[in-house]
Amino acid sequence: MKTLITQREGTDKYGVPVDSLESNYIRYFSNLGCELYPVSNFISRTGYLFDLDVELLILTGGGSLNGGFYCPVKPETDSPCRDYIEKALFEEAIKRQIPILAICRGMQYVNALLGGSISVLSGLPVLRRVGEDHPVSFGEEIVYVNNYHNDGVYLNQLATDLTPIGIDKENGVVEAFMSDAHKTLGVQFHPERNIQDYESRGFIDLLIENFIHNRTNKYSGK
């Protein structure tokens, strides 16, 4: 399965702009049958990439979004080149009806691009420590997922085109959403990183695998 995957935008020790992609992504998605094509944040156009008979787009995590998407608005812009490239990739994938898997920052960006907003998750009723797994409700099922983010999407910030399927009910935070119309699955957690609970690990792997291989999934209504 030919898969476009996005990367972090950063600079090296000399101040030169660079791309980076964690090896966890490579291992995890390669094991699911994805032939990964990392996309640079510094190319001038993206449309030609889809002529490779691409079957999946992955928008990865890492870093913050443009401050204008936040509520309340923040002044800074973290990765302007990445924002531009990922928006172009998202729009082209929608146009060509190619499935999109959005992880962490990628999930937040899809929500923002479709008219939603995001917030810094400070002052939650139930504290979520970075690196610790926490419970999320998928319907009647409780699944423990990892936590590597400081920003997120409250239920009332979710774009109208998106359907929440995983919710941190104690805090009213969306941990996963789907859109049949846009062929999109968004997850706030990182499936490519460690999840300690064995049954939760299996649940998440099956959710991701069913989506990318277009299998029946009870959360998509298929």
The low-confidence residues of the chain, meaning pLDDT below 70, are: 216-222
- Letter string b/e over residues 189-215, b meaning 16 or more CB atoms within 10 A of that residue's CB: bbbbbebeeeebbebbeebbebbbeee
Which tens digit of pLDDT belongs to each residue from 124-155? 888 888 889 999 999 999 999 999 988 999 99
Q: How many CB atoms lie within 10 A of CB 125?
A: 7
The pLDDT of residue 131: 84
Given this model, what pLDDT does residue 222 score?
A: 47
H-only helix segments in the chain: 23-31, 80-96, 105-113, 198-212
For residue 216, the model assigns a pLDDT of 65
pLDDT tens, residue by residue, 81-105: 999 999 999 999 999 999 999 999 9
Query: Cα(118)–Cα(18) distance, rounded to whole angstroms?
Result: 26
Which structure tokens are listed for 73?
Answer: 């608005």
Stated pTM of the model: 0.94
The pLDDT, as a whole number, for residue 74 is 82
